[in-house]
Structure 1
Amino acid sequence: MFWTDKLVGEIKEKYTEKIKAGKPLVIRDEKTMSGRVHVGSLRGVAIHGIISEILNKQEIANTYLFEINDFDLMDGLPVYLDQGKYLPYMGYLLCDIPAPNGKAKNYAEYFAEEFLGVIKQVGFNPEYYRSSELYRAGKYNKVIKIALENASKIRAIYKKVSGAEKEDDWFPLQVKCEKCGKVATTKVISYGEEEVEYVCKEDLVKWTKGCSYRGKISPFDGNAKLPWKVEWAAKFKVLGVDIEGAGKDHSTRGGSREIAETISREVFGHIPPFNIPYEFFQVGGKKMSSSRGAGSSSKEISNLLPPEILRLLLLGKNPNKVIDFIPDGDTIPILYDLYDKMAAEYFAKKEGDYQRIFSLIHASEKIKERFLPRFSQIAFLVQMPHMEIEEEVKEIKGKKLSGEDRKEINHRAKYAKNWLTKYAPEDYRYELQEKEIPAGTKNFSADQKKTLQLILQYVQSQEKLDGQLLHSKLHDIKTEIGINPQDLFSAIYLSFLGKTSGPKAGWFLSVLDKEFLEKRLAEASK
C-alpha cells in the first residue's frame, strides 16, 4: 500500500464520527514569507495537498487551508536584499515592511506572490489566508486572553516538555511598540483586563535594538502577537485543524510540535491535529533555508522540472525519507527514467505502487498514452544541431509518431535545454567533434584500434543501424578481443566527443550520419 493511502486510512479511522456527520476535515499548512521560498517548502504543500485530493476523490468533505504567515518577525536579513535599506526593519512584522519591488502590498506579499504561482503550477489549490487577517479581525482575541491568564501554566509546559525555563515575569505575548513599530524588542510586564503594560527594551535581543518606550495598549485586534509555539497551538484551536504535518526538526521529542500540542490540550482545551512528520528536502545534501543564499528557490526548480516530475520528486518517497535533490548531478535524468517505468506499468494496468504513484502525480485524471523517449537521449539530441529530433525519436520508437508523441518530445526538449543551460554536469554536455579528430585518439592502444576496426566492419555491413543491435555487437567485440569495457567505450567517446564518457554507445553511434561514422572510425583505428 502506497504511503498516501495508508495515511488516509489512518485519518478516516481517527475522524470516523466527523466524517459520518458530513463535517469537513480541516487540513492546514503554512509558510512564513521571510524571503524567497525554497523548494523544500513544497514538500509540506504536496503532502497536505495530496491528502486533500485523495479525500476529495473518496467524496470526504475537507478544506485545505494554507497560511501565508505575514505576522512573523524579520529576525534575519536575506543575503540578496539591500542590507542598508532593510536593516532598520529588523524586529518588524513582515506585513509592516515595504516590498523590495515597491509594488506589492508589503514584504510578505512580494515573496508570497511567486510561491503561490508555483503551488498552482504544481497542481495544488489550497484556500489561502493571511495570518495578519486573523489577528486584525480579532480571531485570536479569545486565545490571547486565555494565554495571558495562563502564563504560569504555559511557562511550566515549556519546562516540562523541553526543559526551557522562562523567567517568572514572562508573558506569552509581544506587542507592537507604539513608538518604533518593532515587536521583537517588546516585553509585557503586566496584564490587566483589557490592556497590557509593556516596555520596548533596548537589549532584549542581540540583532536589533528597542527604543526604551514604555506604555499600555490593548493586546487585541492585531496589536500583539503570540510567540510561535503558543501561536501554533492557537491556530489548531481557532481554525479547528484536524490534519497538519510538520517537519522532522519540529516533530522530535521535546520539540516545538510537542510543546504546541501540550498547550493546545492543556491550555486551549483542543485536541491537537493528526500529525504527519516529514523529513528534510535537501538540495545537494543541504537543508533548505529561506533567508540564507543556500539552495534553489521553488520558482527555479518549478522552471527546471515539469509539474508531473516535480510532483514525483515531492511525493515519490515516504514522508519519513529524506529527499536529496541534486540538480547539477544525475537526479533529473533518473527521475525521468523512474517516471517512464511508472508510466509503462500504469498503461499496462499493472496494480502496485508504481501505478498508484503515477495516477497521483498527474493533477488531471486524463492521462494520454504516448511514447516516452529517455530524457538523457533527448538531452543528447538537443545538443546535436545536425540531427532532427523527431526523426531520431521515430527511429527509436520504430514506427510513426502520434500527435501526443510529438507533444512529449517538445515537452522534454524544452526542459532538457533549460537543464543543460543551467545545471547539467559535464557528463551530460556533448559537442560532436566533426571538423577534426580529437587529439586523444593518438594514444589508443592496439586493442582499442582493433576494436574500432571491428566496429567499422560491422557498420559497413549494415544497410541501416539499429541502436540495440549495435550495442549488443559492441559487447560481442569486447568479448572477442578481451578488451577492458572502460577502454572500449572510452575509445568510442574520445573518437567522436573528445571525452571519455557519453550516452549509451550503441544508440549514440546509430544516430550519427553513417558516412561520417565510417570515416571517423577509419581515422581513429589507424
Structure 2
Amino acid sequence: MSMQQLIEAARVSKAWPFQEAQRLLKRYPEGAKPDGSPILFETGYGPSGLPHIGTFQEVLRTTLVRRALEAMIGARPEDGKTRLVAFSDDMDGLRKVPDNIPNAHVLEENLHKPLSRIPDPFEKGHESFAAHNNAKLREFLDRFGFQYEFIAANDMYNSGRFDDALRNVLRHNRDILDIMLPTLREERRQTYSPILPISPQTGRVLQVPVEVVDAEEGTIRFTDEDGGAIEQSALGGMSKLQWKVDWAMRWYALGVDYEMYGKDLTDSGVQSGRIVKALGGRKPEGLIYEMFLDENGEKISKSKGNGLTIEEWLTYGSEESLGFYIFPNPKSAKQLHVGVIPRAVDDYWQFRERLAEQELDKKLGNPVWNLLRANGGWDAEEAPGEGDTLPVTYGLLLNLVGVLGAEADREQVWSYLGNYIDDPDPAKHPELDVLVGTALAYNRDFVAPTLEKRAPAPNEREALRALDCALSIMPPDNPAEEIQTIIYEIGKREEFAFESLRDWFKALYQTLLGSDQGPRMGSFIALYGIENSRKLIEDALERR
C-alpha cells in the first residue's frame, strides 16, 4: 500500500485509535500546531507503588493513538511531528505505605514527604523510593521498544523549569480557589490551598492554608507544623501543587495536546480542565478508559499489589499477547489475572494469521496490525509478521506440557513437537520456543498442582476402548484431521450413549488430560504421539 492509501483509509477508519486521532485533527486541522512544535501526547504515573500493567497499558494505548495520527497526516515517527512524554508525579507526598514493599519502616518514617525524597526501601542503590519505581517503569517501557521521553516532576520542580508556570498559578490563586472550593466538603475547604508548601523543618508536603505574598517573586506565607509562621519561596522545589492543580499546570507548562486517563479520574479531568483554562491554556483531548479488575472483580491498586506485573505476564505468556489483550474496547472493564493469558496468546496468533488476506480498512481495525506498527513506521508495504502462523496453538502446547507433568523440560517438549512439525528446531521457531518456556512455567505454577484425572464412567470406558482399538492400527504419522474424524465417529455411536459430542469430548479431557476443557483431540494425539496417547487411555481404564 502507498502512504496516500494509508492516509485515506486512516482518516475514515472506525477503529478506536483512529477515532481518537480524529479529535486531534479537529484540534489542528492542518495536522500540526500553529507554531510548528510537535503535537504532544502525555501519560502520567504516580510512583507511590510498583508499576503494573495498568500503567503499561496507558503508554501502549497512547502510542497507538499517536501512530494513528501520524498515519492520518502522512508522518513517520522519525519526522518529529509528535512527541510522547511519560511523566512521573514523584513530588507527590507519600500518603500511606503500600502492602507489597520491603522494609516498610523506611516508608513509615517518611510519610508525607515527596516520593523523590524518601530513601529506597528496596536497597537497590537508587537515590530514592521514586527513583527505584521510575527505573522499573522505564525498564519495561524500554523492553517493549516504546519511543518516549521520560520527565520526572522532581526534576522539573527542583530545576526551576516549572517556576514560570508556578508563578502563573500564584497569579491565579483566587481563580483556582473559586473553581475548587465549591467541589469540596466544608471541613476540607478550611485547609485547602492550590499550593502545597514543603516544610523547611520536616521536609513534609503540608496541607495548610497558604497566602500568596508576591506572585512574581514566588513568595508564600503559611503556618508550619510546629505552629511557626513561615515565609518562603514556592519555587525551586520548595512546594508542589495539589493534584488537580498540578495536572492542569503540567498541561499548561508542557503544552499537552492528548492525555487519556482512567474512569476514576473523571472528576479530576473536569476540574483540571477548568483550571488550565484559567491559567490561559487548553485542556488536552483524551479518552476516559475503564479500569482493569483483578480476578475477584476489584479495582487493581498499586498499594494493594493485586494486579499483574509485567514480569508475571511475561513469565506465562508472550509480549505480543499482552498488547493484544490490552488493545480492544478501552471503554470496557477487563479482568486482569493469569487465567486470561492462554486465550490472549492464541487469539493474538489468530488475528495475526488473518492479516495477509485482509483489505486495508479491515487491517486498520486488526489489533495485531496496530501493535506491529506501535514502534515502527507506517509506509512499509507490509509490516513484519503479517500472515505469520504458529505451528502449534498455545492451548495445545499447555495440554501437552500438562500431560508430560511438572518435571517436563524444554528439550522433552521439543522432542514431542517433532511429531507435529517438520523441523522441530527452536532456532527456526523462536516465537514458539518462547511459548514452550512460558507453558512450562504456567503448568508448573497453575496446572500441575490442581491436575486431577477422574475415572471414566462405564459408557466412557467402552468408548475409550474403541478409540484405543482405532489408534492401534494407525501409522505413527497419521494426520491429525483423520484422527479427529475417527474421534467424532466414535462419539456419535449410539452404543456409547453420549447425549452430545460435547459430553464425549468432556470425558476425554477429564479422563486423559485432567481438565474440563482441552484442544482438538486429533491434534493433541498427533502431537503427543499415538503410542503415548494409547498409554494415556490405558492409564484411564485402570483408574477406578
Task: Calculate the TM-score normalised by the size of structure 2.
Answer: 0.82
CA distance in 1, matches of 2:329, 2:30: 28
Q: Work out which of the residue numbers 65, 70, 85 in structure 1 matches 2:85.
A: 65
The one-letter code of the counterpart of 1:120 is D
Q: Work out which of the residue numbers 14, 35, 59 in structure 1 matches 2:49.
A: 35
* Worse-matched range after superposition: 232-241 or 211-220: 211-220
1:70 offset after TM fit, Å? Answer: 1.2
1:300 aligned onto 2:324? no
Q: What is aligned with 2:17?
A: 4
1:466 aligned onto 2:479? yes
1:476 aligned onto 2:492? no
Q: Name the CA shift for 1:297/1:191 in 2 (closer, same or farther; >3 Å).
A: farther
User: Any residues of structure 2 matched to 1:9-408 within 5 Å, and which?
Assistant: 9-17=22-30, 19=32, 21=34, 22-56=36-70, 58-59=74-75, 61-79=81-99, 80-102=101-123, 103-159=125-181, 162=183, 164=185, 167=189, 170-189=192-211, 191-192=213-214, 194=217, 195-201=219-225, 211-251=226-266, 255-265=267-277, 267-284=278-295, 285-315=297-327, 317-327=328-338, 329=339, 331-351=340-360, 352-353=362-363, 356-362=366-372, 363=375, 365-367=383-385, 369-383=388-402, 384=404, 385=408, 389-390=413-414, 392-393=416-417, 395-397=419-421, 399-400=422-423, 406-408=429-431
Q: How many residues end up aligned between the 2 structures?
A: 497
- Conserved 8 A contact 2:308-2:336: no
Q: Name the CA shift for 1:313/1:69 in 2 (closer, same or farther; >3 Å).
A: same
Q: Equivalent residue of 2:210, what SS?
A: strand
1:296 offset after TM fit, Å? Answer: 2.3
- Conserved 8 A contact 1:97-1:107: yes
Q: Name the CA shift for 1:122/1:313 in 2 (closer, same or farther; >3 Å).
A: farther
* Worse-matched range after superposition: 58-67 or 367-376: 367-376
CA distance in 1, matches of 2:329, 2:247: 25
1:493 offset after TM fit, Å? Answer: 4.5
CA distance in 2, matches of 1:476, 1:88: 71
Q: Name the CA shift for 1:180/1:153 in 2 (closer, same or farther; >3 Å).
A: same
Q: What is aligned with 2:520?
A: 504
Q: Name the CA shift for 1:111/1:229 in 2 (closer, same or farther; >3 Å).
A: same
**Alignment deviations for residues 165-199 of structure 1 (CA, whole Å, 9 cap, x no partner):** 56367431111111111113544255345422211
- Conserved 8 A contact 2:103-2:122: no
- Conserved 8 A contact 1:78-1:291: yes
CA distance in 2, matches of 1:508, 1:449: 20
CA distance in 2, matches of 1:519, 1:25: 63
1:356 offset after TM fit, Å? Answer: 3.5
CA distance in 2, matches of 1:415, 1:13: 44
Q: Name the CA shift for 1:502/1:64 in 2 (closer, same or farther; >3 Å).
A: closer
CA distance in 2, matches of 1:494, 1:20: 62
Identity of aligned residues (%): 19
Structure 2 unpaired stretches of 5+: 1-13, 377-382
- Conserved 8 A contact 1:34-1:108: yes
Q: What is aligned with 1:206?
A: none
- Conserved 8 A contact 2:191-2:209: no
**Alignment deviations for residues 114-148 of structure 1 (CA, whole Å, 9 cap, x no partner):** 11111112231211111112112223323333333
The one-letter code of the counterpart of 2:197 is V
- Conserved 8 A contact 1:115-1:299: no
* Worse-matched range after superposition: 105-114 or 49-58: 49-58
**Alignment deviations for residues 182-222 of structure 1 (CA, whole Å, 9 cap, x no partner):** 11354425534542221124xxxxxxxxx434321111111
1:425 offset after TM fit, Å? Answer: 8.1
The one-letter code of the counterpart of 1:507 is S
- Conserved 8 A contact 1:67-1:131: yes
1:492 offset after TM fit, Å? Answer: 3.6
1:65 offset after TM fit, Å? Answer: 0.9
Q: Name the CA shift for 1:470/1:244 in 2 (closer, same or farther; >3 Å).
A: same
Structure 1 unpaired stretches of 5+: 202-210, 431-437
CA distance in 2, matches of 1:424, 1:325: 18
The one-letter code of the counterpart of 1:196 is I
Q: Equivalent residue of 1:53, what SS?
A: helix
Q: Equivalent residue of 2:221, what SS?
A: strand
Task: Calculate the TM-score normalised by the size of structure 1.
Answer: 0.85
**Alignment deviations for residues 216-267 of structure 1 (CA, whole Å, 9 cap, x no partner):** 111111111111101111111100111111111112xxx11100000111x2
CA distance in 2, matches of 1:188, 1:416: 58
1:91 offset after TM fit, Å? Answer: 0.7
Q: Name the CA shift for 1:296/1:388 in 2 (closer, same or farther; >3 Å).
A: closer
CA distance in 1, matches of 2:365, 2:230: 63
